[in-house]
């Protein structure tokens, strides 16, 4: 089971990373203005992770692959790291699906 690792950035914004059991970051949030808003973002990841249609599979200008996870309202709630190939990106999506729903929350 993965975990949501939360932190406050140097910019005063609140962030989270979803990490797999091996500690690898598989999804990162945008900055939130409050801890409560960040918690809502985490709950949104948990709620939307099992819906394949909420994942947008993308290719960056440098040719690397990544994905975003969107909420029901279409807002991006998380973004992946860059992957060398599509298979890596697709494995990352599966890891979010497997880890997010029951992930614990810890403060860094």
The residues spanned by each domain of the chain are 3-107
Give counts: helices (H), strands (E), the chain.
2, 7
pTM for this predicted structure: 0.94
For residue 19, report the phi and psi dihedrals to the nearest 5 degrees: -115, 140
Class at the top of the CATH hierarchy for domain 3-107: mainly beta
Supply the pLDDT for residue 18: 98
What would the pLDDT profile of 9-37 be if each residue is shown by its tens digit?
A: 999 999 999 999 999 999 999 999 999 99
Give the list of residues 6+ apart from residue 20 with CB closer than 8 angstroms, or none: 2, 26, 95, 99
What would the pLDDT profile of 58-86 be if each residue is shown by its tens digit?
A: 999 999 999 999 999 999 999 999 999 99
How far apart (Å, rounded) are the C-alpha atoms in residues 84 and 69? 19
């Amino acid at each position: 089971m993965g975990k949501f690792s939360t932190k406050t950035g140097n910019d005063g914004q609140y962030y989270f990373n979803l990490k797999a059991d091996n500690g690898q970051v598989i999804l990162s949030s945008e900055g939130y203005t409050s801890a409560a808003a960040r918690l809502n973002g985490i709950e949104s990841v948990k709620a939307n992770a099992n819906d394949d249609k909420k994942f947008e599979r993308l290719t960056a200008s440098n040719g690397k692959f990544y994905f975003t996870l969107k909420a029901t309202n279409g807002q991006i709630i998380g973004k992946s790291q860059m992957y060398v190939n599509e298979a890596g990106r697709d494995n990352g999506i599966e890891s979010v699906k497997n880890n997010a729903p029951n992930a614990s929350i810890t403060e860094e």
